[in-house]
Amino acid sequence: MSHKLSSTVTQVLNILNDGTSHSGIDIGNALGISRTAVWKVVKRLHKYNIDIQSKPQGYQLKEPLLLLDQKKIEPFLSDKKISLEIFESLESTSHYLKSKMPFKTQTICLSEYQSKGRGRLGRKWVSPFGRNIYCSFSGVFKKDIGEMSGLSLVVAILTANALEACNPKIKIQLKWPNDFYINNRKMGGILIELMGEAYGNCQAIIGIGLNVNMKDIELVDLDQPWISLEHVVQEKLDRNIIIGNILLTMLEGLEVFNHKGLEVFLAEWEKYDLLKNQKVSLDIGGSKVVGISRGIDHQGFLLVENAAGSIQKFSYGDTSLLKD
Ligand code: BTN
């Protein structure tokens, strides 16, 4: 089910954000809606596991939630022709954009919640309401699909640049091809879907998922160590500012990639590379390669040195850092 983020939901949560109890009648009066309409909003929010308690004095929100806000993000988008769509709930932001292809204008889609968030290699992406960034956007590149191998690395570099500029405590590591790590724990990832077009053009749906204000309890079924930005900076972050900065950096940076390719970003990758000169394991569709990572080549392929000292390169795969 897809729901656009409605101003009623936002306003109800804004009233409850002070953490005190508010009766349905008071909330209704403030917003010009009935008590039943307020109850319906609360019931809907309960479906996302939001902790709103119903007490005799009224409704009370356990922890404040700072929602996505079109007005806060739009000033970061210099090109006014870009369309920004914000949802309360979607199956997946990338799936939604796919249904809108071919794109007439550049579209950015954000959602507070994803019911079927997708990760790389068919994995699921845990997407609780109102805490993280789930963002997909369309891109059209004047490149043949074969020249697009560097795109996911460039998206990772640009996102890392934007995050580090948001707060000096944030220090990103990138795990090839495009996982965001902090202190050796996964903070986010990128999912890119490419569609070749006639005349050497290429369309992409670029999906970015970042753990921003995620609480421990929400990730119990995750199979690897994880971290969210809130853990690092020790305070709640306004996702609007973070996403605004990412989009600003991304739209400019992807223009550079469109004209100059991966080459001009290689030095930056080096700065963030989590795997360089480390012992790694690479899963390539079931078979495993173990060796020392020697960075990437000019196409963005991973270079792995085997025990005999020869270097192999890989265009895809799932990497993990091995302890000696
Ligand atoms: C990974 O496996 O590391 C990639 C995760 C990508 C998740 C993002 S969230 C926004 C977009 N919508 C999805 O369903 N997936 C991507």
The tens digit of pLDDT for each residue in 89-106 reads 999 999 999 998 887 788
DSSP line for 202-251: EEEEEEEEE-SS--GGGGTT-SS-B--HHHHHSS---HHHHHHHHHHHHH
Answer whether 118 contacts ligand 1 (Cβ < 6 A).
Answer: yes
Query: How many of the other CB atoms lie within 10 Å of CB of 281?
Result: 15
- Residue 265 CB partners (closer than 8 Å, separation 6+): 150, 153, 154, 157, 257
Percent of the chain scoring above 90 in pLDDT: 80
Domain residues of the chain, as ranges?
A: 3-61, 70-270, 275-321
Is 3-61 CATH 3.40.630.40? no
- Residue 50 CB partners (closer than 8 Å, separation 6+): 61, 65, 129, 130
What's the pLDDT tens digit per position in 32-72?
999 999 999 999 999 999 999 998 989 999 989 999 999 99
Q: Which atom of ligand 1 is nearest to the CA of 91?
A: 14
In this structure, the residue with its CA closest to atom 2 of ligand 1 is 119
Answer whether 268 contacts ligand 1 (Cβ < 6 A).
Answer: no
More confident residue, 81 or 303: 303
Q: Enter the pTM of the model.
A: 0.94
Whether 321 and 275 have beta carbons less than 8 Å apart is answered as yes
Q: Is the peptide bond prior to 128 cis by the omega test (within 30 degrees of 0)?
A: no
Do 3-61 and 70-270 share a fold? Answer: no
- As a CATH number, domain 275-321 is 2.30.30.100
3-state secondary structure of 72: helix
Answer whether 261 contacts ligand 1 (Cβ < 6 A).
Answer: no
- As a CATH number, domain 70-270 is 3.30.930.10
Taking the CA of residue 224 as centre, how many other CA atoms within 13 Å lie in the half-sphere pointing to its CB? 14
Instruction: Compute the average pLDDT of residues 111-139.
Output: 95
Query: How many of the other CB atoms lie within 10 Å of CB of 21?
Result: 16
pLDDT at 218: 64
DSSP symbol at 200 = G
pLDDT at 221: 62
Kind plus residue range of the DSSP H or E element containing 169: none
Task: State how far the Cα of 172 lies from the Cα of 188, in Å rounded to an integer.
Answer: 10
